Amino acid sequence: MKSIEYIMIGTLLATIASAPATRPIRGLDDVQSNYQDETAAAKREYQEMIEKADEERLQGLHTLEDRALQNQDIDLASNIRGNIKAIEHSSQEAPAMSESDRQNQMNWLEHRLDGTLWHWGDDFVRFEPDGNVGNYGWTSRGLVTHWRVIDTRTVLFTIVRGRGDNLYAILTFSPNAAFYNGQGFEGGKPLTRGTPQIGPPISGQ
Whether 192 contacts 121, CB under 8 Å:
no
The pLDDT assigned to 157 comes to 94
Please report the DSSP string for 18-40 in residue order: HS-TTPPPTTHHHHHHHHHHHHH
The pLDDT assigned to 41 comes to 54
Q: What average pLDDT does range 54-68 have in this prediction?
A: 75
Cα–Cα distance measured from residue 156 to residue 153, given in angstroms and rounded to the nearest whole number: 10
The pLDDT assigned to 64 comes to 80
Cα–Cα distance measured from residue 66 to residue 70, given in angstroms and rounded to the nearest whole number: 6
Cα–Cα distance measured from residue 146 to residue 113, given in angstroms and rounded to the nearest whole number: 13
Of residues 126 and 60, the one with the higher pLDDT is 126
Q: What average pLDDT does range 108-131 have in this prediction?
A: 93
User: 142 — alpha (psi -120 to 50), left (phi > 0) or beta?
Assistant: left
Q: Report whether pLDDT(6) > 70.
A: no
The pLDDT assigned to 46 comes to 47
Q: Report whether pLDDT(135) > 70.
A: yes
Give the total residue count for the chain.
Answer: 205
